[in-house]
Copies of this chain bind each other. A is one copy, B any other.
Amino acid sequence: MHSEIIMPQQFEERARVMKAMAHASRLMIIDELSRGERCVCDLQELVGYDMSTVSKHLAVLKKAGLVEDERRGKQVYYRLKVPCILNFFHCIESVVEANKR
Protein backbone atom coordinates (compact mmCIF):
# COMPACT_ATOMS: atom_id res chain seq x y z
CA MET A 1 0.00 0.00 0.00
CA HIS A 2 2.87 2.24 0.72
CA SER A 3 5.81 2.63 -1.61
CA GLU A 4 8.39 3.63 1.05
CA ILE A 5 8.71 7.26 0.29
CA ILE A 6 10.91 9.45 2.43
CA MET A 7 8.49 11.90 3.96
CA PRO A 8 10.60 14.44 5.77
CA GLN A 9 10.59 13.34 9.35
CA GLN A 10 9.67 16.79 10.54
CA PHE A 11 6.22 16.52 9.04
CA GLU A 12 5.71 13.01 10.35
CA GLU A 13 6.47 14.24 13.85
CA ARG A 14 4.19 17.22 13.54
CA ALA A 15 1.46 14.99 12.19
CA ARG A 16 1.81 12.71 15.18
CA VAL A 17 1.16 15.65 17.53
CA MET A 18 -1.70 17.01 15.41
CA LYS A 19 -3.28 13.58 15.20
CA ALA A 20 -3.30 13.37 18.95
CA MET A 21 -5.44 16.50 19.02
CA ALA A 22 -7.69 15.57 16.12
CA HIS A 23 -10.54 13.92 17.96
CA ALA A 24 -13.63 15.48 19.49
CA SER A 25 -13.21 13.81 22.88
CA ARG A 26 -9.58 14.77 23.08
CA LEU A 27 -10.29 18.36 22.08
CA MET A 28 -12.92 18.42 24.78
CA ILE A 29 -10.40 17.12 27.29
CA ILE A 30 -7.80 19.68 26.24
CA ASP A 31 -10.37 22.43 26.58
CA GLU A 32 -11.30 21.24 30.05
CA LEU A 33 -7.69 20.94 31.14
CA SER A 34 -7.11 24.53 30.05
CA ARG A 35 -9.11 25.46 33.13
CA GLY A 36 -6.96 23.41 35.48
CA GLU A 37 -5.96 19.86 36.27
CA ARG A 38 -8.60 17.16 36.39
CA CYS A 39 -8.73 13.54 37.44
CA VAL A 40 -9.73 10.82 35.00
CA CYS A 41 -13.11 10.50 36.70
CA ASP A 42 -13.86 14.19 36.07
CA LEU A 43 -12.97 13.80 32.44
CA GLN A 44 -14.92 10.61 31.96
CA GLU A 45 -18.01 12.34 33.28
CA LEU A 46 -17.34 15.21 30.92
CA VAL A 47 -16.93 13.25 27.72
CA GLY A 48 -19.39 10.53 28.68
CA TYR A 49 -17.62 7.51 27.28
CA ASP A 50 -16.44 4.47 29.13
CA MET A 51 -13.66 5.11 31.65
CA SER A 52 -11.31 2.84 29.72
CA THR A 53 -11.95 4.77 26.55
CA VAL A 54 -11.19 8.06 28.27
CA SER A 55 -8.06 6.58 29.79
CA LYS A 56 -6.89 5.59 26.34
CA HIS A 57 -7.56 9.06 24.99
CA LEU A 58 -5.46 10.45 27.80
CA ALA A 59 -2.70 8.00 26.97
CA VAL A 60 -2.72 9.32 23.40
CA LEU A 61 -2.40 12.91 24.61
CA LYS A 62 0.34 11.96 27.02
CA LYS A 63 2.30 10.03 24.44
CA ALA A 64 2.14 13.06 22.17
CA GLY A 65 3.58 15.21 24.95
CA LEU A 66 0.49 17.39 25.28
CA VAL A 67 -0.45 16.50 28.84
CA GLU A 68 1.26 15.15 31.92
CA ASP A 69 -0.17 13.09 34.73
CA GLU A 70 0.41 12.73 38.42
CA ARG A 71 -1.01 10.16 40.73
CA ARG A 72 -2.22 11.45 44.06
CA GLY A 73 -3.69 8.71 46.15
CA LYS A 74 -6.18 6.67 44.24
CA GLN A 75 -6.63 9.26 41.55
CA VAL A 76 -4.54 10.30 38.60
CA TYR A 77 -4.59 13.97 37.72
CA TYR A 78 -3.89 15.23 34.24
CA ARG A 79 -2.82 18.69 33.25
CA LEU A 80 -2.05 20.54 30.07
CA LYS A 81 1.64 20.67 29.33
CA VAL A 82 1.46 22.91 26.27
CA PRO A 83 -0.90 25.86 26.68
CA CYS A 84 0.07 27.33 23.32
CA ILE A 85 -2.19 24.85 21.57
CA LEU A 86 -5.11 26.80 22.94
CA ASN A 87 -4.28 29.81 20.76
CA PHE A 88 -4.97 27.63 17.81
CA PHE A 89 -8.61 27.13 18.67
CA HIS A 90 -9.49 30.66 17.63
CA CYS A 91 -8.09 29.97 14.21
CA ILE A 92 -9.87 26.64 13.92
CA GLU A 93 -13.09 28.24 15.05
CA SER A 94 -12.77 30.85 12.32
CA VAL A 95 -12.50 28.07 9.77
CA VAL A 96 -15.55 26.35 11.22
CA GLU A 97 -17.52 29.60 11.05
CA ALA A 98 -16.41 30.34 7.50
CA ASN A 99 -17.48 26.85 6.46
CA LYS A 100 -20.99 27.50 7.67
CA ARG A 101 -21.58 30.11 4.98
Contact = CB atoms under 8 A, between A and B. Distances in A.
A22 B22 contact: yes
Which secondary structure dominates where chain A touches chain B?
Answer: helix
Copies of this chain: 2
Contacts of A98: 65, 81-82
A39 interface: no
B5 A27 contact: no
A93 B27 contact: no
Interface string A85-101: 10111111111101100
Nearest to A98: B65
For the complex of A and B, the 3 pairs showing the least CB-CB separation, nearest first, are A84-B91, A18-B22, A19-B22
27 contacts: A3-B49, A5-B49, A6-B48, A7-B25, A8-B24, A8-B28, A11-B28, A11-B31, A14-B24, A14-B27, A15-B22, A15-B26, A17-B92, A17-B96, A18-B27, A19-B23, A21-B22, A64-B95, A65-B96, A65-B98, A65-B99, A66-B95, A84-B91, A84-B94, A85-B92, A85-B95, A88-B91
